[in-house]
Amino acid sequence: MAVSPELPLRLSTVILPVHRWAEGGRRIWRQAEELGFHAAYTYDHLTWRSFRDQTWFGAVPTLTAAAAVTERIRLGTLVTSPNFRHPVTLAKELITLDDVSGGRVTLGIGSGGTGFDATALGNEVWPPRERADRFEEFVRLLDRLLSEGGAPTGVGAGGVSYQGEFYSAHEVRNIPGCAQRPRLPFAVAATGRRGMRLAARHGQAWVTTGDPATFDGTAADFLVGLARQTERLDSVCEEAGREPGGLGRILLDSSLTPEGVSPLASVAAFVDYAGSVAALGFTELVLHWPIPDSVFAADQDVFERIVTEGLPQLARP
């Protein structure tokens, strides 16, 4: 069953890179497409929280393998950050992935956290202001590298050169450029106005897991927090001269949300939750593919029925 574009909300999934390819990884990514998910993302971390001492593979190689065994589903990171990435090398990997996938890549990108990734290269955790500054410069340069670095002649033929406070590039060429033009889409994760301004300026979508201030509250508090975030985003878009409705809005279901927020509990729970999310203007809801004995444990049968039975219910009058 393919997800209809007339539905008010696209449904996507996150498949964590914890599966050996020959022992389930290939099957899961193909199944995500067969079920009808709009997109399948993965985390771009070196490891993550409770999975620190368990199997964890690289995001870009995993997505490249997924591109080779799928045909329609969009693929992407949710999210990539500057913690251990440089715009120049990341851009080269992304244009390659976009080519292999036939133009099905979305780059989810955020400022990054303060966990293992933040110190894996031997540096100290960046202060909040520096992290925000780095993120802004990272996004600006990556935008240029993917948009301007692919022309062998004419505009951009000399490659991209840049000297900033944190990053630099010298005559970088990314020929032939992205399969998607002018470049692959950015989905920018942000909770504050500064990050939202980046989404309004450079993004094709905005990503949130909700307002962190409501994670210890009730389900109602969580939805109120989401509403506040969307109102803030509207304001930022208007200030930036961008039509608010032209920016996609992605909600990633998180393990940190309140206990009462449980869209995977049943098909009915999903329909109720997804309907509330769609009413707030979100265009895409991303659910974690179940992983037994983890914070993402869920009933696999219910998970699959949510796509085949629950999502179509949202389109009914």
Q: Tens of pLDDT along the chain (317 residues)?
A: 333 344 579 999 999 999 999 999 999 999 999 999 999 999 999 999 999 999 999 999 999 999 999 999 999 999 999 999 999 999 999 999 999 999 999 999 999 999 899 999 999 999 999 999 999 999 999 999 999 977 665 555 678 999 999 999 999 999 999 999 999 999 999 999 999 999 999 999 999 999 999 999 999 999 999 999 999 999 999 999 999 999 999 999 988 788 778 899 999 999 999 999 999 999 999 999 999 999 999 999 999 999 999 988 887 55
CA dist 97 → 65, 68, 72, 77 (Å): 10, 10, 14, 11
Q: Is 262 exposed, middle or buried (0-12, 13-18, 19+ CB in 10 A)?
A: middle
CA dist 11 → 8, 27, 260, 288 (Å): 10, 19, 20, 11
The Cα 184–Cα 176 span in angstroms is 13
Q: Which two tokens stand for residue 39?
A: 């997109």
Confidence (pTM): 0.94
For β-strands 284-288 and 10-14, DSSP reports them as parallel
Amino acid making up residue 258: P
What is residue 186's DSSP assignment?
Answer: E
**Residue with tokens 């240029």, as numbered in its chain:** 144
The Cα 25–Cα 14 span in angstroms is 13
Taking the domains of the chain in order of start, what are their residue ranges? 10-313
CATH of 10-313, one of 3.20.20.30, 3.30.930.10, 3.10.180.10, 3.30.2010.30: 3.20.20.30
12 has which bridge partners? 286
What is the DSSP track for 252-315? Answer: E--TTS-TT--TTS-HHHHHHHHHHHHHTT--EEEEEPP-TTSTT---HHHHHHIIIIIHHHTT
